[in-house]
A and B are shown apart, each in its own frame.
Chain A
Amino acid sequence: MFFLVRKSVLGSSDEFQDLDFDVNELTIGSNESNAVVLDELADGNLTIKVLNETDAKFTCTGSLFVSINDKKGKSGKIRKGHVYQLGVYDIEVISSPTGFDFALNISRSKRKSTIKNKNYEIKTSKKLFSIRTLSYITFIAIILFFLVIPFMGSQNKDIQTKLTQLPIPSDNSWSSGPLAMAHRIPEIGDKCNICHVKPFEKVQDEQCLTCHRNLDDHIANNHPAVEELSQFLCENCHKEHNEPLQLTRTDDKLCVDCHKKIKDFVGESPDSNQAVQNVTGFNSDNHPPFRLSLIEPYVENGNYEWLQKRPAFDPNNPSKENSNLKFTHEVHLDDDKVQNDDTGEALVCKDCHQLKDDGEHFEPITMDKDCRSCHKLTFDVFNPDLELQHGNLRTATVMLQAHYIREFTDPNLRAKRAKKKIRRIPGKHFNEATCQGTGLDCGRQEAFKEAEFQFTKSGCITCHEVAERDTSDILSKWFVKPIKINNDWYAKATYDHVSHLSVKGQNEEQICLSCHNVEQSNHSEDIAMPQRNKCLECHQQDAKNSVELSCIRCHAFHFEDNDAEN
Chain B
Amino acid sequence: MHQSLLNYKKFRYLKLTLIIVIISLVLYLTQGGDQPANGGTVQGYILGIFSAFLILLLTYLGIRKRSYSSSVGSVQGWASAHVFLGSSLLLIASLHAAFQVGWNVHTLAYVLMLIVIFSGFYGLFSYLHYPRVLSINNAGGSQEDWIKELYEIDEKAKDLSGSCRSNIRLIVLSALQNTQLESKLIPQLRAKDSSKVIQQTDKKNLVSNKNQERVIDILADAIPNSLKQAEADALNQMLSIFSRRQRLLKIIRRNLQIKAYYKVWLLFHIPVTIALLAALIVHIIVVFIYW
Contacts and interface: CB of A to CB of B under 8 A. Distances in A.
Interface of A: 8-11, 15, 39-40, 88, 108, 112-113, 116-117, 119-125, 129-131, 134-143, 146-147, 150-151, 154, 169, 171-178, 192, 196, 199-203, 239, 242-244, 246, 249, 251-254
Given A138-B275, A176-B40, A246-B36, A10 B104 contact: no
Nearest to B178: A119
Interface string B255-291: 0100000000011001111110111011001111111
B193 interface: no
Interface of B: 32-36, 38-40, 98, 100, 102-106, 108, 147, 150-151, 154-155, 158-159, 162-163, 166, 169-170, 173, 176-177, 179-181, 183, 230, 234, 252, 256, 266-267, 270-275, 277-279, 281-282, 285-291
A102 to B, nearest CB: 24
26 contacts: A9-B162, A11-B162, A39-B166, A40-B158, A88-B158, A119-B179, A120-B151, A121-B181, A121-B183, A122-B183, A122-B256, A123-B183, A135-B275, A141-B275, A141-B278, A142-B275, A143-B278, A173-B103, A173-B105, A176-B38, A200-B289, A202-B291, A243-B36, A243-B38, A249-B35, A254-B34
A202 B155 CA distance: 77
The prevalent SS among residues of B at the interface is helix
A200 B288 contact: yes
Given A9-B230, A119-B179, A120-B150, 19 more contacts: A39-B166, A39-B173, A130-B267, A134-B271, A135-B270, A138-B275, A139-B275, A141-B278, A142-B279, A147-B285, A173-B105, A175-B104, A176-B106, A176-B287, A199-B289, A199-B290, A200-B288, A243-B36, A249-B34
A243 B282 contact: no
B277 A139 contact: yes
A146 B105 contact: yes
Nearest to B203: A32
Contacts of B291: 196, 200-203
Given A39-B169, A117-B151, A202-B291, A131 B267 contact: yes
Contacts of B155: 112-113
A70 to B, nearest CB: 21
B173 A138 contact: no
Contacts of B166: 39
A141 B169 CA distance: 56
Contact of A251 (B34, B147, B272, B278): B34
A253 B42 CA distance: 13
Contacts of B274: 135-136, 138-139
The prevalent SS among residues of A at the interface is loop
Closest 10 CB pairs of A and B: A138-B275, A134-B271, A142-B278, A135-B274, A123-B183, A174-B286, A196-B290, A253-B33, A10-B163, A139-B278
A178 B102 CA distance: 9
Contacts of A137: 271
Nearest to B108: A146
A239 B234 CA distance: 88
Contacts of B179: 119
A319 to B, nearest CB: 36
A161 to B, nearest CB: 19
Nearest to B195: A119
Contacts of B104: 172-176
Contacts of B177: 119
Nearest to B271: A134
Contacts of B287: 174, 176
Contacts of A202: 291
A174 B287 CA distance: 7
A94 B96 CA distance: 89
Contacts of A122: 181, 183, 256
B177 to A, nearest CB: 7
B270 A131 contact: yes
Nearest to B148: A120
Contact of B271 (A112, A116, A131): A131
A177 B150 contact: no
B271 A135 contact: yes
Contacts of B106: 176
A94 to B, nearest CB: 19
Given A39-B169, A138-B274, A173-B103, A129 B180 contact: no
Nearest to B270: A131
B151 A116 contact: yes
A243 B31 CA distance: 13
A203 B291 CA distance: 7
Given A39-B173, A143-B278, A242 B267 contact: no
Contact of A151 (B150, B270, B279, B289): B289
Given A139-B275, A242-B35, A119 B162 contact: no
A135 B177 CA distance: 38
Nearest to B277: A139
Contacts of A151: 289
Contacts of B288: 200
Contacts of A177: 38, 100, 102
